[in-house]
Amino acid sequence: MRSNNNILVKLKNAGYQLNGKFLVEGVSLEVQKGKIVTLIGPNGSGKSTTAKIALGIYKKIDGKIEKYTDKVGYVPQKISIDWTLPIRVNDFMILTDSISNEQIEEALSLTGALHLKNKNLGNLSGGEFQRVLLARAISKKPELLVLDEPVQGVDFTGEIALYELIKKISEELNCGILLISHDLHTVMSATDHVVCLNGHVCCSGSPTDVAHNHEYKALFGEQASKTLTIYEHKHDHVHTNEGDIKKN
């Protein structure tokens, strides 16, 4: 069955419906070792749903999913810690896997969150919490990393640094990354493949041709353009307010 040994997860025409309504449908994509796939699209376009299908959180799906790894690291889009639970960053790091203290500290210092190690999880700011979430996901050295808006709430310089880190992780661990961008037009320049969603796959392709976009360079400077890039694309159809698809 396994045609390509580098494939970690593969969706074939996958979809998920809730109460008879499709949240997303007809998604085909694959994440390979050492490759970064970025999902972009407006709010409610099914990015997180697609990630949850790939992760196996949603089980009753349409279409097919093939998954070839169990070593998964996940940064969910939102997570709320109940105040009834006394839990420090250190406890959170070993939530799903037993890792050594050195590994915990290494991962936390990579994301710039080592000073938070003994803090209560409920007392962190949004940006601090994102750094801890990312540290937890990479600390277990996963084969597949699914990052749902991993840099939301992080300041701009921190954002560049974290994207730099994600790129480094994908090279060092040779893991596949499924990344959901919080910005419709911004994707990492290290991205191998971009999928634009809006309830279905609107378009997809490689972002390399826009890597040196002049407008972007002018806006954010040389350093930023090495890490981030604008993904310019045109659609051959528009979505009406009723949810119908209209060809241009």
Partner 1 sequence: MFDDFFIRALFAGIGVALVTGPLGCFVVWRRLSYFGDTLSHSALLGVTIAYTFQFNLAFSVFIISALIALILIQLQKKTNLPGDALLGLLAHSSLAVGLVVIGFLSFIRFDIMGLLFGDILAVTVDDLLIIWVGGAIILIVLKLIWKSLFASTVNYELAEAEGLNPDRAKAIFTILMAAVIAISIKMVGLLLITGMLIIPAAMARNVSTSPIQMVFYSIIGGLLSVILGLYSSLEFNTSSGPSIIAASLFLFILSLLRIKQTARLKN
57: contact with partner 1 by CB under 8 A = yes
DSSP state of 60: S
52: contact with partner 1 by CB under 8 A = yes
Among 6, 96, 100, 109, binds partner 1 (CB under 8 A): 96
CB of 57 to partner 1, least distance (A): 5
68: contact with partner 1 by CB under 8 A = no
Task: Enter the tokens of residue 19.
Answer: 């109460």
Residues 107-146 contacting partner 1, CB under 8 A: 120, 146
Give the DSSP per-residue string, 130-181.
Answer: HHHHHHHHHHT--SEEEEESTTTT--HHHHHHHHHHHHHHHHHS--EEEEE-
SS (H, E, C) 186-206: EEECCCCEEEEECCCEEEEEC
Among 1, 18, 95, 218, binds partner 1 (CB under 8 A): 95
56: contact with partner 1 by CB under 8 A = yes
Asked if 227 contacts 189 with a C-beta cutoff of 8 angstroms, the reply is yes
99: contact with partner 1 by CB under 8 A = no
Stretch that binds partner 1, among 89-97, 105-113, 157-165, 202-210 (CB under 8 A): 89-97
184: contact with partner 1 by CB under 8 A = no
Rounded to an integer, what distance in angstroms lies between the CA atom of residue 89 and that of residue 99? Answer: 14
Asked if 193 contacts 205 with a C-beta cutoff of 8 angstroms, the reply is yes
Rounded to an integer, what distance in angstroms lies between the CA atom of residue 84 and that of residue 29? Answer: 40
86: contact with partner 1 by CB under 8 A = yes
Q: 48 or 189, CB closer to partner 1?
A: 48
Rounded to an integer, what distance in angstroms lies between the CA atom of residue 114 and that of residue 103? Answer: 11
81: contact with partner 1 by CB under 8 A = yes
Rounded to an integer, what distance in angstroms lies between the CA atom of residue 17 and that of residue 24? Answer: 7
91: contact with partner 1 by CB under 8 A = yes
CB of 91 to partner 1, least distance (A): 5
H/E stretch holding 146 = strand 144-148
The residue written with tokens 């089980």 in the block is: 59
CB of 135 to partner 1, least distance (A): 14
Among 16, 92, 129, 216, binds partner 1 (CB under 8 A): 92
How many Cβ atoms from other residues are within 10 Å of residue 232's Cβ? Answer: 12
Task: Enter the tokens of residue 55.
Answer: 């992760």
Q: 27 or 53, CB closer to partner 1?
A: 53
Asked if 151 contacts 186 with a C-beta cutoff of 8 angstroms, the reply is no
Among 11, 72, 177, 201, binds partner 1 (CB under 8 A): 72
Binding site for partner 1 (CB under 8 A): 52, 55-57, 70, 72-74, 76, 79, 81-82, 84-88, 90-92, 95-98, 120, 146
